[in-house]
Amino acid sequence: MNSSLKPPTGEAVLHASIDAVDRFCREVFAAIGADEATADAATRAMMHGSRLGVDSHGVRLLDHYVKVMNGGRVNRTPDVRIVQSFGAVASLDADHGHGALGAYRAMDHAIELADKFGIGAVSIRNSSHFGPAGAYVMEATRRGFAALAVCNSDSFVRLHDGAMRFHGTNPISFAVPVTGDNPWLLDMATSAVPYNRVQLYRSLGVQLPEGVASEADGRDTRDPSLVEMLAPVGGEFGFKGAGLGGFAEILSAVFSGMKLSFDILPMNGADISTPRGLGAFVLALKPGAFVSEEIFQAGIKRYVEVLRSSPAREGMTVMAPGDREWRVAREREQSGVPLDPATRDAFAVLAKEHRLTPPFSL
pLDDT at residue 8 in the model: 45
pLDDT at residue 361 in the model: 81
Residues of the chain with pLDDT under 50: 1-10
CA distances 68 to 54, 71, 128, 130, Å, are 22, 5, 10, 14
25 part of a folded domain: no
**Which structural domain range is residue 128 located in?**
78-334
Q: Using CA atoms, how far apart are residues 94 and 242, in angstroms rounded to an integer?
A: 27
98 part of a folded domain: yes
pLDDT at residue 149 in the model: 98
* Domains of the chain: total: 1
Give the CATH number for residue 146.
3.30.1370.60
pLDDT at residue 82 in the model: 98
136 part of a folded domain: yes
What is the 8-class DSSP label of residue 43? H
Chain-centroid distance of CA 186 in Å reads 11
271 part of a folded domain: yes
Q: Using CA atoms, how far apart are residues 312 and 330, in angstroms rounded to an integer?
A: 24
193 part of a folded domain: yes
What is the 8-class DSSP label of residue 183? P
> Do the Cβ atoms of 193 and 230 come closer than 8 Å?
yes
Q: Using CA atoms, how far apart are residues 176 and 286, in angstroms rounded to an integer?
A: 10
pLDDT, one tens digit per residue, over 206-219 is: 999 999 999 988 88
347 part of a folded domain: no
pLDDT at residue 120 in the model: 98
pLDDT at residue 362 in the model: 67
> Do the Cβ atoms of 193 and 214 come closer than 8 Å?
no
**What are the counts of helices (DSSP H) followed by strands (DSSP E) for the chain?**
10, 13
pLDDT at residue 282 in the model: 98
30 part of a folded domain: no
Name the H helices within the chain: 18-31, 36-52, 62-71, 99-117, 134-141, 195-204, 238-249, 293-309, 323-335, 341-354
167 part of a folded domain: yes
